[in-house]
Amino acid sequence: PTGGLRRVTIQCPDPCFKKKHQKRRMVTNRLVEELAEHMPSGAVLFVQSDVAQVAMQMADTIASVAPGAFVRVERLPAAMGEAAGCNAEPAIEPVRRVRATAGRDYQDKDVGGGEWEHKGAGAIEGSYNWLPDNPLGLMSERESSTISRGLPMFRALFQRVERQAAAPAAPVVAAVAANEETKKAPE
């Protein structure tokens, strides 16, 4: 039902590294449109990945597909954190995995050609400003394993807001400019 989702988390989705498979990535235009429709104002959307380009693509898609529906925030809204039993404390320490698999670090790879729709739309003043800690206070196994290996996590938190009606800025500016021109016109 519309307005039924209060918190959605997307954590370390399959990166679909091959360019021809990128259409299978989890965060798509359609998913973001559905989330915007079914999340009430004040609900939060948390995304994270251990692959920088996947996190960038998720943030870009969220920022551009539903303009004005989601805004980036740095922490959970106070009321939501209290209701969910979360507090403002930092996330728990990751479980140190003595025998953590070496894994592969894809951070510097040119994943799938490095191109995707809406590229750069999620950046704020040229930077993605990833969250340093998990705002939910509980790590997934993938997140814990990644941090234990000394690799970074790329996190973003969005809050659902009511979309603002597009202001008729251009016609107003044009009308003011026309009015100024008539004042300056010689008689």
- Which residues have a catalytic role annotated? 14
Residue of 64, 67, 56 lying closest to 161 (CA atoms): 67
Q: Of 90, 101, 38, whose CA–CA distance to 69 is shortest?
A: 38
Nearest to 49 by CA among 122, 126, 99, 118: 122
Alpha-carbon distance of 95 to 98, in angstroms, equals 9
Ranges of H-type helices in 66-122: 78-83
- Let me know: does 24 contact 61? Beta carbons within 8 Å: no
* Strands of the sheet with 44-49, listed across from one edge: 7-11, 44-49, 154-160, 70-73
Q: How many CB atoms lie within 10 A of CB 25?
A: 18
